[in-house]
Structure 1
Amino acid sequence: MTKSSRSSRVDGEVTRARILESAGRLFAKTGFAETTSKAIAAEAKVDLASINYHFGNRAGLYQNVLAEAHRRIISLDDLLKIAARDEPAETKLWSFFAILVDAAQAGRGWQSGVLAREVLSPSSNLQVLFTEEVQPKLAVILGILSEITAIPASDPALVRCLISTAAPCLMLLVASNGLPGPVSHVLTMPKQQLTSHLHSFALAGLKAIAHECSATDAL
């Protein structure tokens, strides 16, 4: 590869990253429907052709912004590393909560804002986010919950456990974008205390459901 081609590739990566960051800030502020490609181009100091070149169109850019936001809050690599640790599943669950509490309390800039808007007012792009980013991560978390409860990952009961475990974290991330009410006050708790509460509450529920399933299987 020549020096010129390497330089062009680096320049292209820098431009792509600048567009992504600029779009993230605008999507977080005004939402997908109200954010034009022209506004994004002006914010990123590029022409409209650059957006189409790197992302295809505005919808493609938005899907990339959603995926990047989700990865920055919790990446699949982070979850896989947690799952692979030689430690009790209960400790792995603690680590999962700690990452999300840290993300919610830190705010994570435009990332939490973009995801909060998409959760509160879903667009047609949500399915892409779920398929490409969320679903693989949920599979890892299901594995951890299965370790804790001894409920097979394919059992609908474990899916219900997953929803009950993840929902409070989702609310915290939404609240980190300035949502008023009691959830925003919870975010002011010390990180260790909040993580401990989520962990204890989830474990109690998981153990209760595990007991119910065990009793049912024994009949």
Structure 2
Amino acid sequence: MKQDTKQREDGRATRERLLDCAEALTAAKGFASVTSKEICQQAGANLAAVNYHFGSREGLYEAMLYRVHDRIISQTTLQDIAEGAGTPREKLERFFDSLLWSVQRGGRAGADERAIQVWLREALGNATAFLPILRHLATTKFPWVRKLFADYLGRSEGDPVLYSGILHTMAPILLLNLKDFFPIAAEDEPMRILRDPAFHAAMRMYAFAGLDALKKA
């Protein structure tokens, strides 16, 4: 029994090392430029470990991206916000805070810079492989985001105005994450501003100004 437990623990540890190494190498040069051999060598595992733990190289890719996106914002976090206590505005504010803090390393959303680098690198540079991941998230996480906006705007889930509100609110936040592709040092003025709580407060104020205009329309 103890041996079986140890084998399971060793298996979980190997799986996590493979994900960690795949993520680090993907952040550096993109998954398409990384070989399974490189990942296994860095993880201290044999080449068969990828198929054993993930079924295939594609399975490893999917597992890595799902884990990365959960560090940016998890489905549990979205569900807790949407179903938790508070007014529609308070819930949407908590959602904004989670995303805005994900711009910072170690933010409250549990994100780090490498996670965002991996996500954006693959979204921008590996569209064919990335699209199935996006479709999956559209059916698991996006419905909670849509509910938060629909409740605040008082719009049905099929209303085009609702999607306009989501798009114009999310686009600036997504743009902030592109900072990881800018040649800006951590101590530079633009980076300092992005980390300033006053900047985040202004971003949230801007978002609600647009949403409130849609509510009155």
Is this a same-fold pair by TM over 0.5? yes
Partner of residue 108, structure 2: none
TM-score with structure 1 length normalisation? 0.87
Amino acid at match of 1:199: R
TM-score with structure 2 length normalisation? 0.87
Distance of 2:92 and 2:61 partners within structure 1: 31
Partner of residue 206, structure 1: 211
CA-based RMSD: 2.0
Tell me how far 1:42 sits from its aligned partner.
1.1
Partner of residue 182, structure 2: 179
Distance of 1:125 and 1:67 partners within structure 2: 13
Structure 1 unaligned residues grouped into runs of 5+: 213-219
Tell me how far 1:180 sits from its aligned partner.
4.3
| Counterpart pick for 1:193 among 191, 198, 204 | 198
Matches within 5 A, 1:1-219: 2-106=1-105, 108-175=112-179, 177-180=180-183, 185=190, 188-212=193-217
Which is bigger in relative contact order (C-alpha 8 A, separation at least 6)? 1
Distance of 2:143 and 2:21 partners within structure 1: 31
Q: 1:34 to 1:188 in 2, by over 3 A?
A: same
Distance of 2:138 and 2:83 partners within structure 1: 19
Tell me how far 1:40 sits from its aligned partner.
0.6
Q: 1:22 to 1:122 in 2, by over 3 A?
A: same
Distance of 1:191 and 1:56 partners within structure 2: 43
Structure 2 unaligned residues grouped into runs of 5+: 106-110
Distance of 1:3 and 1:163 partners within structure 2: 52
Distance of 1:178 and 1:123 partners within structure 2: 17
Distance of 1:154 and 1:187 partners within structure 2: 40
Distance of 1:105 and 1:187 partners within structure 2: 10
Contact preservation (8 Å) 1:51, 1:61? yes
Contact preservation (8 Å) 1:23, 1:40? yes
Contact preservation (8 Å) 2:72, 2:99? yes
Amino acid at match of 1:34: S
Distance of 1:81 and 1:187 partners within structure 2: 31
Count of aligned pairs between the two proteins: 208
Distance of 1:123 and 1:187 partners within structure 2: 32
Distance of 1:82 and 1:191 partners within structure 2: 24
Identity percentage of aligned residues: 31
